Amino acid sequence: MMTLFLSTPISAFIRSFPQPAKSMLILGLVIVISIVVMAILAPYIAPHDPASRVYIELQPPSRNYLMGTNHVGMDVFSRVVWGSRVVLFVVAVSAAISMAFGVPLGLISGYYGGLVDRVLSIIMDSIYAFPSLILAIAVAAVLGPSPLNAAISIAVIYVPTYYRMVRGETLKVKQMPFIEALIVLGCSDATILKSIFRNITQTVLVVFSLSVADAILTEAALSFLGLSVTWPTPDWGLDLRSGQPHLLNGYWWIAMCPGLMIIALSLGFALIGEALSDYFSIAAKV
């Protein structure tokens, strides 16, 4: 298995990273892949039903209840395992939506320029300047609490991030001789845009990793504020919130276990993003 992996192009790519980017990339990948696997295999990993009382409440971590039990006697470990599904779902949907809008708009804006570019830029810059979390809260509050609505509100705030990076890169790539060649050859705009896009995929990849790292925190924030799933669905942000009063009485595990998972997942993506931006020498700002 290991030797098989070592011969793939992916492993060759990882090995070509200089230190310390390589360690960061590997650590990041390990964190992210383990959490994704945990989410997929949740029914097999979680020892108990995450949303029903299984033991005496407020018990500290033990052999049978790895992360203890919460204030209503649910198994915290099982909730942490199942909770990974919500955050990954919301973040995946929101990243897909913001890329679907941000990338094409950035390409069009950067390639055609003119009035469209100016209007789009002003709008995107204004959204970008605004506190993103507050914007997401406003959208989510109007849409009503649900994971899909949380995903939509998170998507809104990362469109400008993709847009700005893609637009900037498009402006650079547009100047290159091979694009001029395509124009001279009489290629259609669609072909040229496709060709530009292929040359900026690295940037999109870096922006993706870093903005997902940030989106995880935004998702956690929305569910912490009660704007995503509703109790007793297991969710890291929500469990953090409901565990806080008990933490202040000394029962730290209810809030801290899901809380540290939020940080771990976000850190995983941030490490990957940092390593990639080092490797491609892209100074991305998210």
Partner 1 sequence: MAGLGRYIVIRASLIVPTILILYTFVFILLRVLPGDPILAVVGTRYIPPAQLEEMRRMAGLDKPILVQYFDYLLGVMLRGDFGKTLASPIGKPVSEYLWERLPATVELTIASLIVASLIGFITGVGGALRRGSRLDTSMRIYSILTYTLFIPVLGMGLQYFLGLKLKLFYVSGRLSAGIYVPRLTGLLLLDSLLAGDLNAFTDALRHIVLPSLTLGIVLSGAYTRLIRNNLVEVLNSDFIRAYRARGIPGHRVAMYAIKNAFIPVVTYMGLQIAMLLGGAVLTETTFSWPGLGRFIYERIEYRDYSSIQGAVILFAFIVGLMNLIVDIVYALIDPRVKY
Which residues lie near partner 1 (CB under 8 A)? 20, 122-123, 126-127, 129-135, 137-139, 141-144, 156, 213, 217, 220-221, 224-227, 240-241, 244, 247-248, 250, 252, 255-256, 259-260, 262-263, 266-267, 270-271, 274
At its nearest, how many Å lie between partner 1 and the CB of residue 70?
15
User: Which CB sits closer to partner 1, 14 or 136?
Assistant: 136
User: CB neighbours (10 Å) of residue 5?
Assistant: 10
User: Which CB sits closer to partner 1, 81 or 254?
Assistant: 254
- Residue type at 226 in one-letter notation: G
Cα angle 196-96-199, degrees, rounded to a multiple of 5: 15
User: Which CB sits closer to partner 1, 200 or 270?
Assistant: 270
Question: Which residues in 192-219 are b (16+ Cβ under 10 Å) and which e?
Answer: bbeebbebbeebbbbbbbbbbbbbbbbb
At its nearest, how many Å lie between partner 1 and the CB of residue 246?
11
User: Which CB sits closer to partner 1, 4 or 129?
Assistant: 129
Residue showing tokens 């809030």: 255
| Distance, CA of 238 to CA of 231 (rounded, Å) | 8
| Distance, CA of 147 to CA of 126 (rounded, Å) | 26
Contacts (Cβ under 8 Å, ≥6 apart) of 72: 53, 57, 232
At its nearest, how many Å lie between partner 1 and the CB of residue 182?
35
User: Which CB sits closer to partner 1, 173 or 266?
Assistant: 266
User: Which CB sits closer to partner 1, 142 or 190?
Assistant: 142
At its nearest, how many Å lie between partner 1 and the CB of residue 240?
6
At its nearest, how many Å lie between partner 1 and the CB of residue 114?
19
Upper half-sphere CA count for residue 196 (Cβ side, 13 Å): 31
User: Which CB sits closer to partner 1, 70 or 132?
Assistant: 132
- Plot region of 231 (φ>0 → left; ψ -120 to 50 → alpha; else → beta): beta
Handedness of CA 130, 133, 134, 136 (dihedral sign): positive
| Distance, CA of 217 to CA of 141 (rounded, Å) | 17
| Distance, CA of 283 to CA of 209 (rounded, Å) | 13
At its nearest, how many Å lie between partner 1 and the CB of residue 126?
4
At its nearest, how many Å lie between partner 1 and the CB of residue 171?
21
